[in-house]
Amino acid sequence: MERAGGTLPEVDGVNKDFFEGLANGKLLLQRCSECGSHQFYPKPWCVVCGSLDLEWTEASKEGKVYTYTIINRVIGNSKEFEKELPYAVGSVELEGGIRVYARLLAANPSSIRIGCRVVLEPRRLTDKVGLPYFRVVE
Amino acid sequence: MTDVHVSGYAVIPPSRARADRGEAVLTAEEYHARALSELLHSLGIGKKDLDGLSYALGINRTLWPHALIWSAEVAQNLGIAPKLTIISDHGGMSALGLLSQGYALIKSGMVDHVVLLGVDSPLTPSKPQGEYRLERTWRYELNYELPLGMIGPLSEAALIARRHMYEHGTTPEQLGLVAVSQRKNASKNPWAYLKQPLTIDEYLKSPYLAEPVRILDAVIPVNGGFALMLSSSDGAKRFTDKPVRIEGVETQVNSEPQNELRDITKLNIPSARLLERVGVGLNDIDFLELYDDFTVVVLMQLEALGFASEGGGRFVEKNSITYDGDLPVNTGGGQLSGGQAGTAGGFSLIVEAIQQLREEAGERQVKGTTRGLVTGLGCLGYNHNLINRGVALLSKP
Ligand SMILES: [Zn+2]
């Protein structure tokens, strides 16, 4: 689904709380009530033990860049993103080791390095949908 | 139990569907017909002879959407009646997935032969029918990648390549050596799409698409078609005196599913259990056909197979991987230079191995070869690498 400025996720029963959480400034991860494992992206059961009993827990607002890329050309996605080129996306490692793909905000994208500290700064698209954006702080 | 052999093969040369350059503009259905026609011709039989065989048909799912109930439509288009059809949705592992299933069908005695048609025509028609992508992609890509502005496999590969540089000290020049070596191989391959010589300087000047991935780190998409005939030992004798033996195939779908804490630069191909089962060592393998959607993926496989404990980058610096080198890799140019025919791209690597083992590889023939290893990798997982992994050992009988 396209919106002004990009592509919208397809919200469903499994991921609704994740996108709504980001619209309210929180990054929510699934936690298994039986074995305690965290997981992302949202899934219909615990991929470690198979329990259907999952709850949402708020992740820490800080993480580290595990890897990243600077997008230089928009291919196979909305042309709206061309206005933002070049921009950085990466995999942010949160406390406990869970990784989440996110847009990385930095004054100078070429200054980003693996291991950089990042702080959650979600982009709110609607009341119900936010996206994981992080600001690079060092 | 019977052995399983590849008793025949066919290649329909790749095209970018540029009618203005005199290139073929063909649909998947036309590639099916041409690949089957070429295959039957190489086997020395006609369609009526095929009708008399006990066989199954295998096809890959293409990038352009086709019918939900598709294999019977393909058979109807061709006027053939296979006992059974198998269809692969394994992306880059599709060719290996079909080879594996075909192998099992013949081993079980259910059929004597399996016809595999690997075709795709991502560039025909050239105007996208979907919104941004040809296929309906993964929900995880729709939800957690595209809204961030990611650009599909290119950006996923870039995340892997960046981390590979961090973990192994891999340099742009080392990635470039993969592209340059494979281009040299392609220059001797009549059916490779890109044959003009390539230098490291030209590689380094090629533009970034998703830094650190340059345009020359990625495959060139093409339309194309391939066909393979798999046969039981007795069945193969009817068609050829140069059968290629499938010594074994191993696959793994959604490898290492608890992926969040793992090293995305490790690509554990199920090769160890295949080599152990077949009873051969790395030294018994004369050449490699490694699934090459991106240059870094070739380095990761050299590491995973056990050829490059010092890191794939340093390995390609110290050793030549051209067809006449220390360890020939992707002897026909692979998909990086040969072209990637969508989800049928992996067939090009199997066909190249067969040409080598039949000693039909012309100027790029690896001297004195008896055994080759082929891989197929598909499906870039979330925060992961290629999660569908297949490997096969092919040899002279
Ligand atoms: Zn659990």
Q: Does any domain span residue B343?
A: yes
Q: A87 vs B149: CB contact, 8 Å cut-off? A: yes
Domain span at residue A24 reads 2-136
Which residues are CB-neighbours of A107 under 8 A, at least 6 positions away?
A: none
Q: How far A101 CA sits from the closest chain B CA (Å)?
A: 7
Domain of residue B237 covers 4-131+223-244
Instruction: Give the DSSP letter of residue B116.
Output: E
User: Is residue B95 located within the same domain as residue B237?
Assistant: yes
The number of folded domains in chain A is: 1
DSSP string over B310-377: T-HHHHHHHS--STTSSS-BSTT-HHHHH-B-GGGHHHHHHHHHHHHHTT--GGGPPTT--EEEEEEE
Please check whether residue B316 lies inside any domain of the structure: yes
Which of A69, A74, A75, A103 would you mutate first to test chain B, the one with the most B CBs within 10 A?
Answer: A69
Q: Point out the domain boundary residue: B244, B277, B302.
A: B244
Banded pLDDT at B153 (limits 50, 70, 90): very high
Predicted local distance difference test score (pLDDT) of residue B133: 62
User: Is residue B176 located within the same domain as residue B296?
Assistant: yes
Instruction: Report yes or no: B380 at the A interface, CB cutoff 8 Å.
Output: no
Please name the member of A2, A9, A70 whose beta carbon is closest to the beta carbon of B211. Answer: A70
Give residue-wise pLDDT tens across range B272-307: 999 999 999 999 999 999 999 999 999 999 999 999
**CA-based nearest distance B312→chain A, Å:** 19
Q: What residues of chain A lie within 8 A of the CB of B142, using their CB?
A: 7, 9-10
Q: Decide if B133 and A75 are in contact by the 8 Å CB cutoff.
A: no
Rounded CA gap, B28 and B25, in Å?
10
Give the pTM. Answer: 0.97
Question: B231 - beta bridge partners?
Answer: B5, B113
Question: Which residues does chain B have within 8 Å of residue A46's beta carbon, measured at their own beta carbons?
Answer: none
Provide the token pair at B348.
């090009």
As a whole number of angstroms, the distance between CA B349 and CA B233 comes to 23
The reply to whether B142 falls in a domain is no
Q: Are residues B235 and B271 in the same domain?
A: no
Q: Chain A within 8 Å of B382 (Cβ-Cβ)?
A: yes
Question: Which CATH number is B115's domain given?
Answer: 3.40.47.10
Q: Does A76 touch chain B (CB under 8 A)?
A: yes
Integer Cα distance of B61 and B92 in angstroms: 11
pLDDT tens by residue, B77-98: 999 999 999 999 999 999 999 9
CB proximity A87 to B under 8 Å = yes
**Which residues touch B241 (CB under 8 Å, ≥6 apart)?**
none
SS3 call for B174 = helix
CA–CA separation, B152 and B133 (whole Å): 9
The rounded Å distance from CA A31 to ligand 1 centre is 8
Write the ipTM. 0.96
Position B110 in a domain: yes
A69 touches chain B (CB under 8 A): yes
How many Cβ atoms sit within 10 Å of the Cβ of residue B199? 11
Give the pLDDT confidence score for residue B260 in this predicted structure. 55
Say if A10 is an interface residue toward chain B (CB within 8 Å). Answer: yes
What is the least distance, in Å, from the CA of B249 to any CA of chain A?
Answer: 27
Report the distance separating Cα B83 and Cα B87, nearest Å.
Answer: 14
How is residue B268 written in tokens?
Answer: 């554990």
Tell me how close the Cα of A19 comes to any Cα of chain B, in angstroms: 10
Query: Could you read off the pLDDT tens digit of each residue along chain A, which spans 138 residues?
Result: 555 456 889 999 999 999 999 999 999 999 999 999 999 999 999 999 999 999 999 999 999 999 999 999 999 899 999 999 999 999 999 988 999 999 999 999 999 999 999 999 999 999 999 999 999 997
% helix, strand, coil for chain B, step of 5:
40, 20, 40
Q: Are B374 and B249 in contact (CB under 8 A)?
A: no
In a domain, B311, yes or no: yes
Among B133, B143, B260, beta carbon nearest to A97: B260
Q: With a cut of 80, say whether residue B254 has pLDDT above it.
A: yes
Say if A131 is an interface residue toward chain B (CB within 8 Å): yes
Task: Tell whether B210 is within 8 A of chain A (Cβ).
Answer: yes
Dig out the tokens for A13 from the structure.
Answer: 């029963």
CATH label of the domain that carries residue A103: 2.40.50.840
Does residue B293 fall inside a structural domain?
yes
The verdict on A23 touching B (C-beta cutoff 8 Å) is no
The rounded Å distance from CA A55 to ligand 1 centre is 11
Rounded Cα–Cα distance for residues B18 and B10 (Å):
23
pLDDT level of residue B1 (50, 70, 90 thresholds): confident
Greater model confidence, A104 or B123:
A104
CB of A35 less than 8 A from some CB of B: no
The answer to whether residue A78 neighbours chain B at the CB level (below 8 Å) is yes
Whether B95 and B170 map to the same domain: the answer is: no
B236 and B287 together in one domain? no
Q: Which residues of B touch A123 (CB under 8 A)?
A: none
Which residues of chain B have a CB within 8 Å of the CB of A75? Answer: 151-152, 154, 209
- Residues B234 and B273 both lie in one domain: no
The residue with tokens 């039949």 is: B358
Mark whether B105 and B157 lie in a shared domain. Answer: no
* Residue B336 · residue B311 · CB < 8 Å: no
Q: Which residues of B touch A132 (CB under 8 A)?
A: 148
Please name every residue paired with B60 in a beta bridge, in sequence order, or none if there are none: B88
CB within 8 Å: A7 and B208? no
Q: Which of B137, B140, B260 to mutate to test the interface with A (most CBs of A within 10 A)?
A: B260
B287: enclosing H helix or E strand: strand B287-289
Cα B260 to middle of ligand 1, angstroms: 14
Directed axis angle between helix B71-78 and helix B28-43, to 10°? 60
B154 has a chain A CB within 8 A of its CB: yes
Assess whether B112 and B160 both reside in one domain. no
* Ligand 1 geometric centre to CA of A52 (Å): 8
Same domain, B298 and B371: yes
CB atoms within 10 A of CB B234: 11
B189 and B329 co-located in one domain: yes
User: Which of A10, A48, A100 lies at the smallest CB-CB distance from B143?
Assistant: A10
Between vectors from CA B253 to CA A39 and to CA B163, what angle results, nearest 5°? 60
Say if residue B238 is in the same domain as residue B315: no
Question: Same domain, yes or no, for B227 and B212?
Answer: no
Instruction: Please say whether the beta carbons of B146 and A8 come within 8 A.
Output: no
Number of domains in chain B: 2
pLDDT digits (tens, 9 = 90+) for B196-244: 999 999 999 999 999 999 999 999 999 999 999 999 999 999 999 999 9
